[in-house]
Structure 1
Amino acid sequence: MSVAVAAAPSRWKSVSLWVVRGLLALAFAAAGAAKLYGVPMLVEEFEHIGLGQWFRYFTGSLELLGAILILLPPVAAFGGVLLSCIMVGATISHLFVIGGSPVPALVLLTLSAIVAYAKRSQFALLSSAP
């Protein structure tokens, strides 16, 4: 058996990562669309945060962008990092501003970080560009 075959990721690992990416994309697309649409609960939540409704639009747009990026194989790592950053903010917001459980944000943060870590070779490709 050659070294190249042994170093290749297993089929299960690849399929599992695609499933995680798909679920993240669905979750963030739904959340981003709800923010942009102006679901009353989210409007109220962002009002409580105190940064204004522009921040709801900004967050929703970033979530939609992250959902798209995480599905595109060449830039999935960047989508994972973007979504991780959003979830760090959401966790902090739940802990210190709006209350409620930070657990959903922490789960999404963990899954986004797993995607970013699994696709970390994309960052090396970026740094080696001329």
Structure 2
Amino acid sequence: MTTLNTHPTTAPATSAAGGGGSLRRVLWAAQILLAAFLLIGSALPKFAGQSDAVRTFTDIGWGQWLRYVTGTVEAAGAIGLVVPRLAGLAATGLIGLMGGAVLTQLLVLEPVWSLLPAVFAVVFAAVAWDRRAESRQVLRSLRRAPSRTP
């Protein structure tokens, strides 16, 4: 007798967008590289108080607290990008962060540098789209909080 296992976590890792495993592999490579950049190249200098990071947030004019908030969001997003179940949600949150970075570059800092976070946002949008099934599953599990009756 053959048993069909339909548990969602045991399904093969194929792209939700229908592109098969090759799109998923390309996105995984991009996720890993972007996660490394966000954590090592962007969040850690903010936490360490690197002079460029301090100067940038001084130029923005909102105070150094924003440097720590931005670094925290980048670090959390980097970690989320490499956790398959959280990758889509992390990518969605990072789209918002990149939108803020684009606006900040355009309006306050160097407009030419707005292209980099814009390209990152496009990649994050592709990851979020590809991981939409996992994101829905996580959100559904959060909504199904057990009811406690005395």
Q: TM-score, length-normalised on structure 1?
A: 0.87
Q: Deviations over 1:1-51 (max 9, x none)?
A: xxxxxxx54231221111011111011112111111111111111011111
Match of 1:22 among 32, 37, 44: 32
Residues 35-46 of structure 1 mapped to structure 2, 5 A cutoff: 35-46=46-57
Q: Which has the higher helix share?
A: 1
Secondary structure of the corresponding residue to residue 74 of structure 1: coil
Please identify the structure whose Cα radius of gyration is greater.
2
Gaps of 5+ in 1: 1-7
How far the C-alpha of 1:106 sits from its partner, in A, is 0.7
The answer to whether the 8 A contact 1:24-1:112 is kept is no
Distance of 1:49 and 1:80 partners within structure 2 = 24
> After TM superposition, which residue ranges in structure 1, 4 or more long, deviate above 4 angstroms?
none
**Whole-Å separation in 1 of the counterparts to 2:33 and 2:71:** 17
Question: TM-score under structure 2 normalisation?
Answer: 0.76
**Distance apart, 1:60 and its partner CA:** 0.5
Instruction: Count the aligned residue pairs.
Output: 123
Q: Return the letter of the residue paired with 2:34.
A: L
SS of 2:108's partner is helix
Identical-residue share of aligned pairs (%): 28
Q: Distance in 2 between matches of 1:11 and 1:83?
A: 24
* Map of 1:56 onto structure 2: 67
Please tell me the root mean square deviation across aligned C-alpha atoms, in Å. 1.4
Structure 2 gaps, min length 5: 1-13, 145-150
Q: 1:79, 1:15 → 2: CA distance?
A: 18
Q: Which amino acid aligns with 2:32?
A: G
